[in-house]
């Protein structure tokens, strides 16, 4: 395990691959079985059972212990036990040292003295030679370092050496070692070393060698191993040939010795036959027999008769033989033999026979009697020469010595091989001693020296070179094959990735909403995606290879070619936007051209992207129009707020004036006229607030069919009879949540605009319809939500509008009518009211084809009808309590204070929110109600209300504002006591205050009202 923050060990994992795991396990089991069997045999005292070859000693128990450690190390290595592997490898190395030491000195493990059955003298340790000890040491080093990179290279080398060493170990087991060692080879030792080496070698191939090892070291090791084996084979053949020559020399020596002895015995027998026959045969016959014998016998010098008195008579002889018995110079031996009548073989000195070495054979006529006999004289050199030359192998040198003196020599001068190959045998005959020496001459050696060792050496070296080359080529081929496979695999992966990438980008390009194309430097289209092809109404095959002139009209082709030329020339991107007519529809197309560069950076083509921006431009105009409407609404809202304050004062004072004046007073008519003008001004204010979406709407379930019927009935009496006003109302039309007054104004404005667009006869059609969710196409940028909608459509047959006019129809104060005939607020008000109702309006118009407005309002399902307004109380109560009036307009504060004080309320005043907080904090226990204006300087009504809740969560606040109640926050709506819409009459304010204080006594709990009933003003269409 690696400690966090440290680098992991670079050593390779001890656990080998799966294939090597199996080999190590199998070989380890074999070695354990081998070591266990040998150890058990020694423990039982029966080591001779391990002696499979009579000339080889059985494997010693020291070797068995080494094989046990070796097999255990293999099994531990296969299972990944690092410490066990290292421990067993160390023990194996120790056994190797002990085995090598035991072969030099007779020391080592002596288990047989105390743990095993007595096995005799176990030392010198037969069966554990030094080669086995060296194998133990090499294996220990390989096993201990196999986890390192060096060990990966070393393991197969050691395996190859062990396999070869085991084979040589067994092949040379019977040869005599020249080393002074005590141990020797054994069959089981060689087998165990070979099996263990195979495991290391196989694991090396399984684990994979480094490239250098595969390409250079392995062939070199194979070549070296082949050379060693070749020379060993050559040495074995030479040794075998030497042994064969030695055996031949021994055979020749023994053969000649045997022949010499047989010949001497035969000659004695011949002489004895002649002696026996010469005693009874006539002299002439004896002479003939002796002459025939001497003539046939090589080296025979003659035959003489010796009588009983010692007289010598030569039957057949060479000139100058001895004439008396004493002249034979044999001493008394010959005379004694004559007298005793026995056969003797004697050796006479050279001086008696002219310097020649002779052999005397005496045979009596009658054995055992002194009747004389025959003596045959042989020249020894000629005698043995004929024998040896006739029977000795050709080319063999032969010498015969008599008491150290050369008696006969054949090729005796050729002594080159005598010392190495010479063979000497002594032989004795009838008391005479000779020494026979035989050795091969150079001719024999040349003849016996077979070409097999040299040929085997030559073939072995050649085959070794070829094998090393084959291994090198095989490893190179394997390396190159692996590299080629990797290259092919990488190429396939790259091609697959390229195809996937190409498919992915092809899918991406094809599914883009934009048209994408590629042009070369000659302006030819080389690629185009499906949207671009659809935009041109052509297939990809028609576009690829074509130029702008082939695809576009002349004007567009020229413009496109100029842009492409600019990109190719300057290397910069070009953007443009043009209006084009496609499929009979005018569209706005945005185009971006980007240079395509090669590896050197040169521009070689143009990548173009184009897309339809017609809808985007329409939405931008829509957003621009909405922004202008919001800005003008803000302006209108501000004006309406201030105007409402003024109208509140005017309307309140007029009501007071009318109340205090007599019915027939002359100023009453003037006050009534002023009151009517104020009401009309209030209606204009309502329209401005509606335009700014800040006035309060009367939301209720509304049927557009009823509304359309009412408006059409009203307009049919005022519109020119030449213009037909028709309706097409859908039965069972869905209700909508709307302010009927506002929608009446919308429909009225649309119908009046349609009337003004028609010159002479024409038709205005008002339609309603239910549009399901699946049929609704929401406009981009709208806040409308998906769902069911009710559509109100107004279609006319008027003059229609140009695109320029159509783009500005919703702008406030924009009109195409003559001066004095239009305010420019009609369609702007329609647009604002429809947005307030969470719908949208769509316009379709062409010059000469009329105009169609479609208004979509969301469906209201299951909404209950609003309850009718409660009738105002006829009885005026007397008020009591304290009311704080907060308004920035002093006239409004005074008007409200006068009305409340007239009813009997105690009134406190504040000009802004900060004064209101200070006053309330000082008299919070006495104040029953706060009338709070929302728009004030210093501190607004909204912030003042939040701080009032902090002072007193039960505070009762009646909001007063010219804006709609929808402008309030949820907290304000839930916590307020009521709401009064500006401009208001004093009576309306008193009704709201009375209702709050009557229903909510100061000591009781405060309820949460929804709103007070606002002032209802008639809508004025203008």
Same domain, 458 and 436: no
Question: Tokens 């008299």 appear where?
Answer: 923
Confidence at residue 886, expressed as pLDDT on a 0 to 100 scale? 92
What percentage of residues in the chain have a pLDDT greater than 70? 76
Weakest-pLDDT range from 329-338, 808-817, 864-873: 864-873
Confidence at residue 1014, expressed as pLDDT on a 0 to 100 scale? 40
Report the candidate in 133, 130, 152 with the shortest Cα–Cα distance to residue 142.
152
Same domain, 702 and 667: no
Per-residue confidence at 969, pLDDT binned at 50, 70, 90?
A: confident
How remote is the C-alpha of 977 from its chain's centroid?
A: 72
Confidence at residue 371, expressed as pLDDT on a 0 to 100 scale? 83
Is residue 991 in some structural domain? Answer: yes
Rg (CA), the chain: 70
Per-residue confidence at 8, pLDDT binned at 50, 70, 90?
A: very low
Extract the tokens encoding 603.
């521009």
Extract the tokens encoding 83.
């410490």
Same domain, 92 and 232: yes
Mean pLDDT of the chain: 77
Query: What does the pLDDT average to over 124-143?
Result: 76
Greatest mean pLDDT among 72-81, 143-152, 453-462, 1007-1016 lies in: 72-81
For the purposes of burial, counting CB atoms within 10 Å of the CB of 532, is it exposed (0-12), middle (13-18) or buried (19 or more)? buried
Confidence at residue 822, expressed as pLDDT on a 0 to 100 scale? 54
List of residues 6+ apart from 453 with CB closer than 8 A = 234, 237, 238, 241
Per-residue confidence at 692, pLDDT binned at 50, 70, 90?
A: low
Is residue 118 in some structural domain? Answer: no
In angstroms, rounded to a whole number, what is the distance separating the alpha carbons of residues 865 and 282?
189
Instruction: Give pLDDT tens digits for 68-87.
Output: 998 898 888 888 888 898 89
| pLDDT at residue 570 tops 80 | yes
Do residues 933 and 888 make contact, with C-beta atoms less than 8 angstroms apart?
yes
Instruction: Give pLDDT tens digits for 198-243.
Output: 887 776 655 555 554 555 556 666 666 667 677 667 766 777 777 7
Domain count, the chain: 6
Same domain, 268 and 390: yes
List of residues 6+ apart from 353 with CB closer than 8 A = 301, 377, 379
Residue where a domain terminates, one of 666, 686, 706: 686
Helix (H/G/I), strand (E/B), else coil: 133: helix
Confidence at residue 874, expressed as pLDDT on a 0 to 100 scale? 44
Furthest-apart CA atoms within the chain: distance in Å: 230
Per-residue confidence at 519, pLDDT binned at 50, 70, 90?
A: very high
Same domain, 557 and 598: yes
Per-residue confidence at 929, pLDDT binned at 50, 70, 90?
A: very high
Instruction: Give pLDDT tens digits for 602-632.
Output: 888 999 998 888 777 777 776 776 676 667 6
In angstroms, rounded to a whole number, what is the distance separating the alpha carbons of residues 742 and 836?
10
Helix (H/G/I), strand (E/B), else coil: 774: coil
Confidence at residue 768, expressed as pLDDT on a 0 to 100 scale? 94
Weakest-pLDDT range from 248-257, 798-807, 996-1005: 996-1005
Same domain, 919 and 839: no
Confidence at residue 346, expressed as pLDDT on a 0 to 100 scale? 86
Is residue 425 in some structural domain? Answer: yes
Confidence at residue 611, expressed as pLDDT on a 0 to 100 scale? 85
Confidence at residue 869, expressed as pLDDT on a 0 to 100 scale? 40
Is residue 780 in some structural domain? Answer: no
Higher local confidence (pLDDT), 974 or 223: 974
Confidence at residue 208, expressed as pLDDT on a 0 to 100 scale? 52
| pLDDT at residue 382 tops 70 | yes
For the purposes of burial, counting CB atoms within 10 Å of the CB of 408, is it exposed (0-12), middle (13-18) or buried (19 or more)? buried
Is residue 579 in some structural domain? Answer: yes
Find the distance separating the first CA and the last CA of the chain, reported in whole Å. 90
Per-residue confidence at 697, pLDDT binned at 50, 70, 90?
A: low
Is residue 636 in some structural domain? Answer: yes
Per-residue confidence at 728, pLDDT binned at 50, 70, 90?
A: very high
Residue where a domain terminates, one of 649, 665, 686: 686
Same domain, 222 and 358: no
Same domain, 574 and 557: yes
- Give the phi and the psi of residue 635 in degrees, each rounded to 5: -65, -45
Higher local confidence (pLDDT), 852 or 48: 852
DSSP letter, residue 146: T
Same domain, 473 and 617: no
Domain containing residue 486: 451-497
Is residue 868 in some structural domain? Answer: no
Do residues 88 and 59 make contact, with C-beta atoms less than 8 angstroms apart?
no
CATH number at residue 983: 3.40.50.2300
Do residues 352 and 320 make contact, with C-beta atoms less than 8 angstroms apart?
no
What percentage of residues in the chain have a pLDDT greater than 90? 7
In angstroms, rounded to a whole number, what is the distance separating the alpha carbons of residues 413 and 400?
14
For the purposes of burial, counting CB atoms within 10 Å of the CB of 888, is it exposed (0-12), middle (13-18) or buried (19 or more)? middle
Confidence at residue 1006, expressed as pLDDT on a 0 to 100 scale? 41
Extract the tokens encoding 599.
């590896």
How remote is the C-alpha of 398 from its chain's centroid?
A: 85
Greatest mean pLDDT among 525-534, 714-723, 980-989 lies in: 525-534
Instruction: Give pLDDT tens digits for 434-467.
Output: 888 998 888 877 776 666 666 776 777 777 777 7
| pLDDT at residue 127 tops 70 | no
Same domain, 234 and 256: no
CATH number at residue 846: 3.30.565.10
Weakest-pLDDT range from 89-93, 364-368, 639-643, 1002-1006: 1002-1006
Extract the tokens encoding 201.
């070698």
Instruction: Give pLDDT tens digits for 738-782.
Output: 888 788 888 888 888 888 888 888 899 999 999 887 788 777 666
Query: What does the pLDDT average to over 730-736?
Result: 91
Q: Does the predicted model carry a pTM greater than 0.75? A: no
Confidence at residue 183, expressed as pLDDT on a 0 to 100 scale? 53
CATH number at residue 644: 3.30.450.20
Is residue 116 in some structural domain? Answer: no
Same domain, 431 and 417: yes
| pLDDT at residue 795 tops 90 | yes
List of residues 6+ apart from 487 with CB closer than 8 A = none
Query: What does the pLDDT average to over 498-519?
Result: 80
Question: Tokens 């709609």 appear where?
Answer: 964
| pLDDT at residue 1013 tops 50 | no
How remote is the C-alpha of 301 from its chain's centroid?
A: 108
| pLDDT at residue 889 tops 60 | yes
Residue where a domain terminates, one of 201, 224, 239: 239
Same domain, 670 and 532: yes
Higher local confidence (pLDDT), 225 or 294: 294
């Amino acid at each position: 395990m690696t400690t966090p923050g440290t680098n992991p060990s670079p050593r390779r994992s001890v656990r080998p691959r799966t294939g090597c795991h199996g080999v190590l396990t199998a070989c380890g089991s074999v070695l354990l079985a081998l070591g266990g069997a040998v150890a058990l045999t020694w423990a039982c005292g029966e080591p001779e059972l391990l002696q499979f070859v009579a000339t080889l000693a059985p494997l010693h128990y020291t070797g068995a212990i080494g094989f046990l450690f070796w097999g255990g190390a293999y099994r531990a290595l296969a299972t990944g036990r690092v410490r066990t592997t290292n421990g067993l490898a160390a023990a194996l190395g120790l056994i190797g040292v002990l085995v090598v030491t035991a072969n030099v000195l007779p020391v080592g493990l002596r288990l047989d003295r105390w743990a095993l059955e007595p096995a005799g003298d176990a030392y010198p340790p037969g069966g554990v030679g030094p080669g086995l000890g060296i194998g133990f040491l090499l294996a220990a080093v390989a096993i201990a370092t196999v986890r390192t990179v060096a060990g990966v290279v070393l393991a197969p080398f050691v395996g190859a050496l062990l396999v070869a060493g085991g084979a040589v170990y067994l092949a040379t087991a019977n040869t005599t070692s020249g080393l002074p060692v005590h141990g020797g080879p054994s069959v089981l030792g060689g087998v165990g070393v070979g099996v263990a080496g195979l495991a290391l070698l196989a694991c090396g191939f399984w684990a994979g060698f480094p490239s250098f090892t595969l390409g250079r070291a392995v062939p070199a090791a194979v070549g070296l191993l082949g050379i060693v084996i070749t020379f060993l084979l050559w040495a074995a053949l030479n040794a075998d040939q030497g042994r064969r020559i030695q055996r031949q020399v021994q055979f020749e020596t023994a053969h000649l010795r045997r022949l010499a002895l047989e010949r001497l015995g035969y000659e004695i027998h011949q002489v004895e036959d002649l002696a026996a026959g010469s005693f009874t045969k006539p002299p002439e016959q004896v002479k003939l027999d002796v002459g025939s014998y001497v003539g046939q016998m090589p080296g025979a010098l003659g035959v003489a008769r010796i009588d009983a008195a010692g007289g010598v008579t030569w039957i057949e002889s060479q000139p100058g033989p001895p004439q008396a018995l004493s002249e034979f110079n044999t001493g008394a031996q010959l005379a004694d033999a004559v007298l005793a009548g026995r056969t003797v073989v004697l050796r006479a000195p050279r001086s008696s026979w002219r310097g020649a070495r002779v052999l005397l054979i005496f045979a009596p006529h009658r054995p055992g009697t002194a009747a004389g006999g025959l003596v045959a004289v042989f020249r020894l050199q000629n005698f043995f020469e004929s024998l040896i030359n006739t029977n000795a192998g050709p080319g063999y040198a032969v010498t015969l010595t008599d008491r150290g003196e050369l008696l006969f020599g054949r090729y005796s001068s050729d002594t080159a091989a005598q010392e190495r190959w010479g063979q000497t045998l002594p032989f004795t005959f009838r008391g005479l001693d000779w020494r026979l020496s035989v050795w091969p001459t150079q001719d024999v050696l040349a003849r016996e020296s077979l070409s097999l060792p040299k040929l085997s050496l030559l073939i072995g070296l050649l085959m070794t070179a070829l094998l090393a080359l084959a291994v090198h080529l095989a490893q190179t081929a394997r390396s190159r094959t692996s590299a080629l496979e990797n290259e092919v695999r990488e190429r396939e992966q790259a091609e697959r990735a390229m195809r996937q990438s190409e498919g992915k980008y092809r899918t991406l390009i094809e599914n883009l909403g934009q048209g994408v194309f590629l042009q070369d430097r000659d302006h030819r289209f080389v690629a185009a995606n499906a949207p671009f092809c659809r935009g041109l109404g052509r297939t990809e095959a028609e576009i690829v290879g074509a130029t702008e002139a082939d695809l576009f009209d002349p004007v567009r082709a020229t413009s496109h070619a100029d842009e492409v030329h600019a990109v190719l020339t300057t290397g910069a991107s070009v953007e443009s936007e043009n209006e084009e007519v496609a499929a009979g529809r005018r569209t706005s197309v945005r185009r971006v051209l980007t240079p395509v560069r090669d590896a050197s950076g040169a521009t070689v083509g143009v990548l173009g992207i184009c897309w339809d921006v017609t809808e985007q431009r329409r939405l931008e105009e829509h957003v621009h129009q909405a922004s202008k409407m919001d800005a003008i609404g803000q302006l209108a809202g501000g004006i309406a707020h201030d105007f409402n304050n003024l109208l509140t004062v005017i309307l309140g004072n007029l009501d007071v004036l009318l109340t205090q004046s007599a019915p027939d007073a002359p100023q009453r008519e003037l006050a009534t006229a002023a009151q009517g003008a104020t009401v009309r001004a209030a209606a204009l204010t309502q329209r401005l607030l509606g335009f700014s979406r800040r006035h309060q709407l009367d939301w209720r379930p509304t049927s557009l069919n009823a509304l359309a019927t009412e408006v059409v009935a009203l307009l049919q009496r005022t519109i020119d009879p030449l213009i037909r006003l028709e309706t097409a109302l859908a039965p069972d039309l869905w209700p909508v949540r709307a302010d009927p007054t506002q929608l009446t104004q919308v429909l009225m404005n649309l119908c009046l605009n349609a009337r003004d667009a028609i010159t002479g006869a024409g038709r205005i059609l008002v339609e309603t319809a239910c549009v399901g969710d699946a049929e609704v196409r929401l406009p981009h940028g709208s806040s409308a939500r998906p769902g069911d909608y009710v559509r109100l459509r107004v279609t006319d047959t008027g003059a229609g509008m140009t695109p320029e006019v159509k783009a500005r129809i919703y702008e406030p104060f924009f009109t195409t009518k003559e001066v004095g005939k239009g305010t420019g607020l009609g369609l702007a008000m329609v647009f604002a009211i429809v947005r307030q109702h969470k719908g949208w309006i769509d316009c379709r118009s062409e010059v000469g084809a009329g105009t169609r407005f479609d208004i979509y309002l969301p469906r209201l399902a299951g909404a209950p009808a609003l309850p009718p307004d409660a009738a105002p109380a006829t009885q005026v109560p007397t008020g009591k309590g304290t009311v704080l009036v907060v308004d920035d307009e002093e006239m409004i504060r005074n008007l409200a204070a006068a009305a409340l004080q007239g009813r009997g309320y105690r009134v406190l005043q504040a000009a802004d929110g900060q004064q209101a907080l200070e006053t309330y904090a000082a008299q919070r226990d006495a104040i029953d109600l706060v009338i709070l204006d929302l728009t004030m300087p210093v501190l607004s009504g909204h912030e003042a209300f939040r701080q009032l809740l902090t002072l007193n969560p039960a505070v009762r606040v009646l909001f007063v504002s010219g804006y709609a109640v929808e402008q309030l926050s949820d907290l304000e709506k839930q916590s307020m006591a009521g709401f009064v819409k500006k401009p208001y009459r004093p009576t309306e304010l008193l009704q709201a205050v009375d209702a709050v204080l009557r229903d909510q006594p100061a000591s009781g709990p405060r309820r949460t009202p929804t709103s007070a009933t606002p002032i209802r003003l008639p809508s004025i269409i203008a």
